[in-house]
Amino acid sequence: MSPETRDPDAPPAPSSPAAREAALATVRDYLERFFKVERDIAVSADEALLTVGPHWRERWKTAQAFRLVMREDFPPGTLKSLVDDHTSMLAPDDDHARETLHVIFTMSSLHGAVDHDELD
């Protein structure tokens, strides 16, 4: 089925293992950079937005990586380890880790990231 005829309400097709690993690496780097030391998620999110916000390509790439990580299924413990090891927070399980990633995604305003190349 071509992308033009794909049902827009259908869930996205699973990503390739390479795409999933690349997305995990991007999210891991973002979490390490902004959320590893600071315990206040709002302070970390503000710092991330101020630092990455003006760089729309990096922001878009990070937003897309978060979207992929939040929607895909990973081996048990993957998301918990991502949050536990690369932020100042702890997640009791993968479901809570996914929720934590969603909060970080939203508070960092990644949901508003735009691919400016697509606008041209």
Q: What is the pLDDT of residues 7-25, one digit of tens each?
A: 555 555 667 889 999 999 9
Using an 8 Å Cβ cutoff, are 110 and 51 in contact?
no
Tokens of 77: 């413990």
- What's the CA gap between 48 and 7, in Å, rounded? 35
pLDDT, tens digit, for every residue of 85-101?
A: 999 999 999 999 999 99
| pTM given for the model | 0.82
Q: Where residue 118 falls among pLDDT bands split at 50, 70, 90?
A: low
The most confident of 14-23, 55-64, 97-106, by mean pLDDT:
97-106
51 to 11, 59, 79: CA distances (angstroms): 32, 10, 25
- What's the CA gap between 18 and 25, in Å, rounded? 11
CA 98 to chain centre: 10
Amino acid at 30: Y
Residue labelled with tokens 């991330």? 48
**pLDDT reading at 42 higher than 70:** yes
